[in-house]
Structure 1
């Protein structure tokens, strides 16, 4: 089963952004992929307002990205600072980036 890294905003309208990430994960599963959305996991035990903890959480997510087949980037609401880091890393390691502009 292919692994897909889900890249979408978290900060800002957190409730809406979490719903978008969940929908992207569901889309991936429906297509037979195993999704991973670090921003649905790490904020449960990492303080996103603490720069060191936030950086560590992002680093963990990037390490997992390296095991994925694709990066799905939701760009329908723009690209956040965290997404910029993820997409930059994806390009550096030669990951396939699939842009998704809307979710249902």
Structure 2
């Protein structure tokens, strides 16, 4: 989506839109970063080895992504971009539901009596 939005846009126009530094370093390539330009890092991935804690972290991540998509939808007036963002937002909702189901399953297994 990002590539399509900047494909063929002149460098001067990218600079005027505040994307000059990105263009200088990455051209029009996708470079994962947050809205402030902070690059993505694997340090963002949380894993403790505790399935309950990790699933709660996954649930929170899905909700944060959903909220981000909602705000991005508010920032654009392009119908095609809005449709894409709505699809991605709905996908986060489904992921949240599946992680919730997995959490319920894990909790049930951990609370089950084991007979030997």
Same fold (TM over 0.5): no
Greater strand share, structure number:
1
The alignment's TM-score, normalised by the length of structure 1, stands at 0.28
The alignment's TM-score, normalised by the length of structure 2, stands at 0.26
